[in-house]
Structure 1
């Protein structure tokens, strides 16, 4: 991680030198020299980072290097803050000019001395690392010994087959079928997933499956590991699939070995298992011996944590991702290992152990590795009291294990290999996930905005935005199985994500080791949270840079702000389980804005106590991200305009009367979310925001819509329709170039007239949209929507559509997601929605939410042939599910939240159960 920290600081210093050189007048040379020292240090840090887990001296040095880089960044940014705060325009500044020149001279001397001291410190550390021969660690045995020990502990052998397995029968059968099937479509079969998911165990079951053993002539199992020696792997396989001896093979060069191995797979049916491949580069180095172009009946079965490896090895191959064990399977596995074979256990003891075991299994989240670690420990515990003792610290036992080599026996050690394998630019992105509470579904757009604000993301090409780079990083974390997908959108783009419980434990542990962040849980203390006093005490020795605070009903304390003295805080995120909380002492908000002037990120949302933001908010000039959404703010000061570095400003659903016309000064803004209902006097000027990509809840009441003509990078637009048609037509002509680039459009019609013409008028210019959200009277959907090639998602609410509008929707050629909410159709008459044969050809997700006017659904055979997900929630008029749903065989998930009379009909044995019995996942909730 120190490598990542230093790299980011070097980038930021470069930005300061280039973009803010006027504020560094007098110390520019010192900053350049410090930057050069850090760049020289980067050459040592990759090996030093790897070595620190095995060498306490190096660990201390790495920590000092990281802290020195942070100190340098703090000193430079603090100085810039002072200079910016002193420089005022206008006549009054002349009166103070000479006094300030003297003060700035003092600051220049002080800042120069501080930077020089830090630079000397960095230079000294580099000299010590060089003297310690850090550069040669990779070859000298220090780091090698770590890898050798890891490889020795993780090496797999085909003859050692786990007998305590559950839930794999169907998976084994499916994989065996793809290996032995005729034809050459699947040369490579891949098992991929996060560490501990049981990939190797599954591969062994397939390797020894009777059908597989009868089909193939020869077999080879090789454990690859993170450090692959290509020749050793080839030799190992060739010995097993040919009649050649090792001595004969040892005399051949690499090209000859690869050719022999290639021929052996052509002449015989060979099954080669490559267990634990970590990178595409490893596969590229091995593949010369495994030609994918020629016809052969030999097969390769590989396991990997990286989806990219599985995809890259064979584009026509079969990919299989094991699922976590369910509750029943988890107990079966624990019972097999921990209880079976104990004759002395009576029924009462068994019942008590089962109750305790199921409670402990909640910490495992279905991960076979974690269950095995826990079961292995419980197998050595004879009494219920001993099991109860384990339960008290079950999370520690699962994470750490217990035994002579404790750090290598727990689940986290295996998962930590995935973290160690991350490239430096992904490690801070992963650690940042530790801010979010357990089981929190993380919105991807918000996460990428936070990464960008923290400085983790750099766009190296002009046409690639930082948002695109950030989303690429997110995809890579998913592909490497350290992050999981929660929800995908209509074009398969990830909308939300989450961490597996054990992966979150790893994230928090690594974040603590790297002094990356600290979490405070105000409701209770646990292994991953610390109290207010602990934070205050830690501040004396450790500079806390990122802080996540979980609030509860006692949120008026805003811990640990009263005692917290660390002015180096860069990121402060508050989380509350609901939308709103009561702030009993509004002065604490004022204290927050006064104390933390170096903040880059502030997320403080949802307070309902009326608060007037203090003028001191203007001193937080380093803010890149500010979210005050869902809060009650009586006044925003004009000093808000000093936040010229802001990239994201979220005032969504703020209850406020006054926002001063200063947002135009924030020229770096990329995402602006305005309050839903408010009127600006004077109107906000927006024409200077050339970097703006998202503009939400704008209207002619709060700004001049003609300003949108200057926003050429705008991609998401939320507009409240408040203008009559005559004024709107003129405005639309002036902003035609802007609306043509819109990809996501939200239209909220507030006019309440009978035509809805204004909505269709705006919509006519947005021909490239992917997503359309209509709220308010529309009456009719325009037929030209059929010619919008990218339109894949539509949400409708209070539109008062006519009866025939379903025929317009069902003919949209690329529509994949449709959400119908309250009063989408005219409410005067109850409605029957008809899904006709051949309609909605590509629809994958349909949601019906609070659509009380709908009393009946009819699904004709052949309708919605691609539907995968169906959501029906709180539609009071609907009495039953459509009979035609039984024809929709593609349906994978049905979620219903309806009255008990509706839900009971769908339960097993209910009169409507036959309509949905083919659906694999059914979630029923009654009220």
Structure 2
């Protein structure tokens, strides 16, 4: 009997023991998820703090001067203030992590086959964990709430976790603005690899599973139907938000931790729903009582799933972090709302109006619903320009429209029967609106200007990606120090198109320091394709599939051990240890990398400065391997053109250009924020003188960040952009290039380059002026069937590629429009030349090549006659005047000088006479004696007549009369057989001839048009009485044609234009006496295969050339005005493969809608829509205009824009007015 009692007692004790253990485990399980979630997020915040602090220290070690002059000092102080809070957070994270790790170990035992035994053995640890969890949970809660962070002053400062994050985000933004772009790129790439697979599809599966469970087992939701509906809606909104997040680079560990937590929560919720489904299916075999109790338990489990999902929003609210999408600065003038914003606001307004009509209905739910809607409407208006979570907002829009329809229905019922009561659904509507409002606020993506964006490299990136995925095996990126070679290589290295194409990537930085140490440690770990797969592709993989082992140049374990040893050892010891085998080992690893045949490899050799250095490093062993690449590709960055030419053929040599003045200012203002005004203009001018070298601009910008912009010290520091260490790259580049240019093989380039010295400091020179002058002086030589203008443009491109000339402005088709000789190049050149003299007032600039440039500013007119006196260069070949004086005196003085020089024979060898912008120079009647003259530039001189003897200039190639008041062109002009460029003016106002009410040029009947070499005919007017009308057929070599005409019969004109097979630019204006648009007849022109620019003004009688795809595929620039097209031209125009600029001006389109469909306009950069009165809707679909940079919409008063800005990732300028 005693034995039986003892056994019963032991059994009862064991049952009680296990029961306590199970209860403790159940209690711990409920607490576990919260502690795990909060610990991981808090740990992410701590890691972010450490990363920002480490970045500051690294920047300060590299540029100690920045500490005094930038915002980094404020950042350091701010982080120091938060250190106490962060230290306590570390303790909480450590304790919380240890706690949930212990619970995970217990859970693994619980899930084993011997779980009963484990509970008997592990009850003390289980109880201990259960006892500790509430304490840890409370400590986490207390720390995330209000807490003391400093008590050194009389006033104790308090802070919560959202305050910490706000300070940290401000600090991170300031640090980012002064970090090297390569560091930012690496961190963004690391962030991409650490993100979990997207949860969009898994969330969709969870929604389907939950919906199916409810439909099959509706009894599970009895009494909680409304809450389940809210949970489902929340899941749907979460799904759309994660789609928006795909385009966002997560910058912080906290953001990544939240995304990981969301991924794990969705997976756990799916497991829970599957388990509930299985249990619910088993209930049919059990008793009614058990069914009731199980239904109650399953209902609780179902509600737990909803609580988990809601927790994701709660923690984001608590921490206060923001998802940020960083784009280049966008100049936006927004007086219109996009369709999304308009529809959202309209939906909210519609609901409010319906509620206003229910004045007879009182109730707390109506009032609170109206208040919630008013708050939502206010928030939508405030965030429309910054919130780019478009998928989420669209989902909210759909739901709001449903609510509006329901409220309207309820309103109609109440209006018809005043005794009717609103249905109970109004309360649920209030909860739905509340959730929508909350989701819009919490699940938001803020767009900010990127303080560290790459400026001016977009085309370079696309070009290099195309070459690397094409046939080019070795590509060399060449340019001066600090121009962005490594930055460009990094952008290409991490580009998604590249990471998809290549199986493995490697990066080698060639050192200029003790080679053994740096070489051995400078090889970056190659990235395998497996590691870089798109998240969507990773999501499709079987969960059971084992990941492929990364193929690396160095095993991870070996690398970690070596890096740890490197940290511990002194540099001298390391160098001694690595040499002499370190270099050979490194070379062998790269050789193995290059010789692998099975996979595509990309190897970047960064910073190869000379062939001697390369050969000494590799002992020629790698050179042979580079000549025998299979499917692999190699990119070399170097400052040496000799090195670049050695590695790459000419067509694979990529020359980086200097940034334009606008791009330079954009780089500068990423670091220094300026308010518009005179100070900004002055600062912009100084930055423009920096020559467009990013390194110099960034260096000065970093020093000025956070300083008072009006201070004297500010501008003294700004002037350093062309001084000190920023001058060194220029000195090296100029010296190397001058040496090469003066060699016999580049003599023509030398002449072309030195010609730039004749222009004033910072003078922005039109390319057509430069090219025509070079041709006139025979600087350009052609062979075979080459075109002089094209070869001259290639020479200019070569000088730009050598970083000797800076691009100022480009045309819509991408070609250079204006350029200049950078001050940083010009000043050293002038100082080295003893034959240059400058005075404050008027002075000639001369050179040994027989060129004169007179710069006259009018400060001292007394010295003018001396300046125009006898020259050391008795027979100049080229004369340019730069005269800013006002009145008639400058023209008279210059006219006397020209007349005197012609009479005394000084101009007998003159080839170029450039008077552009000189006010009304008096040309002598005997100007025809200048038999060698090939260029006569009279643009913007406002002359009224030119001498008849111009026709005697038998060698004249360029006659530029644009922006003059010349009304009658001498008939002798048509005898100029060598004329290539004729610029006339059909847009100026003047006294009209008596026989025609509009005519800018009255062309006398020529004896015969002999200008078969004419390449450019611009600004000419043709009517029925024009002698040119009958001679058009003789002008067959035109490359550029711009004419206005008043012709009833246009067949001759149509036929002639269709035969201009060399034509590249065509500008046609069909006008009447009042300069109004008239019918424009134009035949199909697809045979003009070289045509790149087309401008049409007039009512197109044959619109099929636009809407039926009858334009040449070569077209890059299209402008239509007054065309009166009725049918949407976008579907056909969108198929033009090379179109870069499209402008639809007043009256060009008379339809109601324009639609850019998916994949249309693949190369379009600029889209302008002006004064289209009938246009009501512009629909730019996802996948269209993927390279668009500028969108300019003006005076389209009926237009509603349907554009999702997140789809336009390259958009830089958005104007709507």
Query: Which TM-score band applies after superposition, normalised by the shorter structure?
Result: 0.5 to 0.7
Distance 1:544 1:813, change over 3 A: closer
User: d(CA) in 1 for partners of 2:913 and 2:934?
Assistant: 9
The residue aligned with 1:573 is 880
Aligned-residue offset at 1:393: 11
Contact 1:781 1:805 in 2 (8 A): no
The residue aligned with 1:450 is 773
The residue aligned with 1:599 is 910
The residue aligned with 1:505 is 824
User: d(CA) in 2 for partners of 1:857 and 1:717?
Assistant: 35
SS state at 1:448 partner: helix
The residue aligned with 2:1124 is 801
Distance 1:532 1:849, change over 3 A: farther
Unaligned runs of 5+ in 2: 1-59, 67-176, 194-464, 494-503, 524-552, 554-575, 674-681, 987-998
Give the superposed CA RMSD: 6.1
Distance 1:534 1:789, change over 3 A: closer
1:329-368 alignment runs, 5 A limit: 364=690, 367=693
User: d(CA) in 2 for partners of 1:376 and 1:825?
Assistant: 48
Q: Which piece of structure 1 moves more, 270-279 or 711-720?
A: 270-279
Contact 1:191 1:303 in 2 (8 A): yes
User: d(CA) in 2 for partners of 1:866 and 1:205?
Assistant: 18
SS state at 1:326 partner: helix
Aligned-residue offset at 1:664: 2.8
Render the CA deviation track for 1:408-448: whole Å, top value 9, x for unaligned: 97454233245335433323323333444555554333322
Q: Does 1:172 align with 2:183?
A: yes
Contact 1:511 1:517 in 2 (8 A): yes
Distance 1:752 1:281, change over 3 A: farther
The residue aligned with 2:480 is 194
User: d(CA) in 1 for partners of 2:795 and 2:611?
Assistant: 16
SS state at 2:1103 partner: coil
Unaligned runs of 5+ in 1: 1-159, 208-214, 225-231, 333-355, 379-383, 403-407, 519-528, 903-927
Contact 2:737 2:802 in 1 (8 A): no
User: d(CA) in 2 for partners of 1:835 and 1:673?
Assistant: 38
Distance 1:751 1:667, change over 3 A: same
* 793, 796, 813: which one aligns with 2:1136: 813
Distance 1:748 1:857, change over 3 A: same
User: d(CA) in 1 for partners of 2:832 and 2:958?
Assistant: 30
User: d(CA) in 1 for partners of 2:1214 and 2:918?
Assistant: 32
User: d(CA) in 1 for partners of 2:926 and 2:1148?
Assistant: 49
Q: Which piece of structure 1 moves more, 705-714 or 169-178?
A: 169-178
Aligned-residue offset at 1:773: 1.0
Distance 1:717 1:234, change over 3 A: farther
User: d(CA) in 2 for partners of 1:194 and 1:174?
Assistant: 22
* 1115, 1119, 1122: which one aligns with 1:792: 1115
Distance 1:854 1:559, change over 3 A: farther
The residue aligned with 1:616 is 926
Render the CA deviation track for 1:580-626: whole Å, top value 9, x for unaligned: 965345422422432362432223234665x6632132233222221
User: d(CA) in 2 for partners of 1:204 and 1:756?
Assistant: 54
Contact 1:430 1:477 in 2 (8 A): yes
Contact 2:1097 2:1123 in 1 (8 A): no
Distance 1:825 1:262, change over 3 A: closer
The residue aligned with 2:1095 is 773
* 716, 732, 737: which one aligns with 1:414: 732
Aligned-residue offset at 1:458: 0.6
Q: Does 1:530 align with 2:839?
A: yes
Aligned-residue offset at 1:751: 4.2
The residue aligned with 2:8 is none
Render the CA deviation track for 1:858-905: whole Å, top value 9, x for unaligned: 1242474334122427x3454887241526424332153x7xxx4xxx
* 1065, 1068, 1086: which one aligns with 1:744: 1065
SS state at 1:705 partner: helix
Q: Report how many aligned residue pairs link the two structures.
A: 664
User: d(CA) in 1 for partners of 2:1068 and 2:491?
Assistant: 55
* 930, 955, 965: which one aligns with 1:655: 965
The residue aligned with 1:705 is 1029
Q: Which piece of structure 1 moves more, 265-274 or 698-707?
A: 265-274
1:76-225 alignment runs, 5 A limit: 162-163=62-63, 167-174=178-185, 192-197=478-483, 221-223=510-512
Contact 1:685 1:707 in 2 (8 A): no
The residue aligned with 1:858 is 1178
Contact 1:716 1:743 in 2 (8 A): yes
Distance 1:880 1:791, change over 3 A: same
Render the CA deviation track for 1:657-706: whole Å, top value 9, x for unaligned: 32211123322211112232434352346631122111123425543334
Distance 1:204 1:852, change over 3 A: closer
Q: Which has the higher contact order (CA 8 A, sep 6+)?
A: 2
Render the CA deviation track for 1:761-796: whole Å, top value 9, x for unaligned: 496885653221112343553337613333424544
User: d(CA) in 1 for partners of 2:612 and 2:1015?
Assistant: 34
More helix by share: 2
Contact 2:700 2:717 in 1 (8 A): no
Contact 2:881 2:918 in 1 (8 A): no
SS state at 2:1027 partner: coil
Contact 1:739 1:766 in 2 (8 A): yes
Contact 1:756 1:777 in 2 (8 A): yes
Distance 1:249 1:357, change over 3 A: same
TM-score by length of 2: 0.45
User: d(CA) in 2 for partners of 1:202 and 1:842?
Assistant: 22
Contact 1:571 1:601 in 2 (8 A): yes
Aligned-residue offset at 1:749: 0.8
Q: Which piece of structure 1 moves more, 312-321 or 782-791?
A: 312-321
* 1035, 1044, 1047: which one aligns with 1:720: 1044
Contact 2:1066 2:1094 in 1 (8 A): yes
The residue aligned with 1:496 is 817
Render the CA deviation track for 1:73-102: whole Å, top value 9, x for unaligned: xxxxxxxxxxxxxxxxxxxxxxxxxxxxxx
User: d(CA) in 1 for partners of 2:1143 and 2:922?
Assistant: 39
* 1157, 1165, 1168: which one aligns with 1:845: 1165
Distance 1:499 1:675, change over 3 A: closer
User: d(CA) in 1 for partners of 2:1153 and 2:918?
Assistant: 41
1:9-20 alignment runs, 5 A limit: none
User: d(CA) in 2 for partners of 1:272 and 1:244?
Assistant: 27
Q: Does 1:304 align with 2:636?
A: no
The residue aligned with 1:96 is none
Contact 1:839 1:864 in 2 (8 A): yes
The residue aligned with 1:326 is 667
Contact 2:957 2:981 in 1 (8 A): yes
1:870-885 alignment runs, 5 A limit: 870-872=1190-1192, 875-878=1194-1197, 882-885=1201-1204
User: d(CA) in 2 for partners of 1:373 and 1:767?
Assistant: 47
SS state at 1:719 partner: strand
SS state at 2:733 partner: helix
Contact 1:196 1:414 in 2 (8 A): no
TM-score by length of 1: 0.57
The residue aligned with 2:801 is 479
The residue aligned with 1:275 is 607
Distance 1:867 1:328, change over 3 A: closer
SS state at 1:633 partner: coil
SS state at 1:476 partner: helix
Aligned-residue offset at 1:757: 5.3
User: d(CA) in 2 for partners of 1:217 and 1:816?
Assistant: 36
Contact 1:434 1:507 in 2 (8 A): yes
The structure whose Rg is larger is 2
Distance 1:678 1:199, change over 3 A: closer
The residue aligned with 2:624 is 288
